[in-house]
Structure 1
């Protein structure tokens, strides 16, 4: 069961469906891992090829192994539109420690509608017991026994 911190670097997207009638889309991403959610900045007027270069941290404390990236279009006067989503399986990053920049398919209604580029790093929680020095230099049992 992995425990630690997952860093998600949201880099860019490409080929998103630019469905705004009079202007370019204003994309942003909602990143979800279990009950934790982060939202990227809105790339106003970026159209179908936005660049974010933002990092997000998630706490990993159980065996949930999927990250969801929901790409949205920010609208001023109506509800924001969904442009699609990408689901990333995290088992490889838990095993390897990091996954370099990788392109994932963005899907909406089971149809391909662009791609998103993400890098992932998993830092395991340090197990305190492994790092306790058992030597004499830190005042263990041997040092205190000389006083008696």
Structure 2
């Protein structure tokens, strides 16, 4: 039997593509006041997980206020799956130390993405999320229509650590519809 998109050999790629809503670009901007895990500093990097997907930034040497400005892209099939961000301290001769984690969901971001926003002026706020017990937000986060795109700036307070925040930005990437 030939290896067609629907054959068992292909691993169900066709089904995955049909369920794919789009791509989520997460710009990991910077860390603020991260925990010290080495003698005087840390060598931090960020790992982003959503379902079985796992992406990571580069390591920034000896910096508790690192600037990554790195884009990581996730395939989104189910907007109800939370995204987990974990910061680690890279160690050469032992297991990397955890420097805290944060979880966030993208439901309100995806809802804004589905709206017809083309006629709105750039800079329009679509929705707001306040920090609370049920999220890791360090401050209010707004989903904004800017320059023809839906974006969201988020400051995440890290959990299970003495200090630290990570600034990220979400941006949606639409996939071309093969039926168009």
TM-score bin, normalised by smaller chain: 0.7 to 0.9
Instruction: Select 2:151's aligned residue among 91, 99, 103.
Output: 99
Aligned match of 1:49? 65
Instruction: Report the 3-state secondary structure (helix = DSSP H, G, I; strand = E; otherwise coil) of the residue aligned with 2:164.
Output: strand
Is the partner of 1:107 in helix, strand or coil? coil
Q: What is the CA RMSD across the aligned residues, in angstroms?
A: 1.9
Give the distance between the partners of 1:126 and 1:94, measured in 2 at CA.
17
Q: Which runs of 5+ in 1 are unaligned?
A: 132-148
**1-structure distance, mates of 2:31, 2:53:** 22
Question: What does residue 115 of structure 1 align with?
Answer: 165
Match of 1:65 in 2: 81
Instruction: For CA contacts below 8 A with separation 6 or more, give which structure has more relative contact order.
Output: 1
In 1, the alpha carbon distance for the partners of 2:21 and 2:59 equals: 31
The 2-side partners of 1:115 and 1:95 are apart by 26
Q: CA contact under 8 A between 2:20 and 2:75: conserved in structure 1?
A: no
**TM superposition shift of 1:75:** 0.7
SS in 1 for 2:110: helix
Compare CA radii of gyration and give the structure with the larger one.
Answer: 1
**Long gaps (5+) in structure 2:** 1-18, 114-149
Q: What is residue 14 of structure 1 aligned with on the other side?
A: 32
The answer to whether the 8 A contact 1:5-1:58 is kept is yes
Alignment of 1:68-79 (within 5 A): 68-79=84-95
Greater fraction of residues in strand? 1
**TM-score when normalising by structure 1:** 0.76
Q: Is the 8 A contact 1:2 1:124 kept in 2?
A: no
Whole-angstrom distance in 2 between the partners of 1:7 and 1:83? 23
Q: Distance in 2 between matches of 1:88 and 1:7?
A: 14
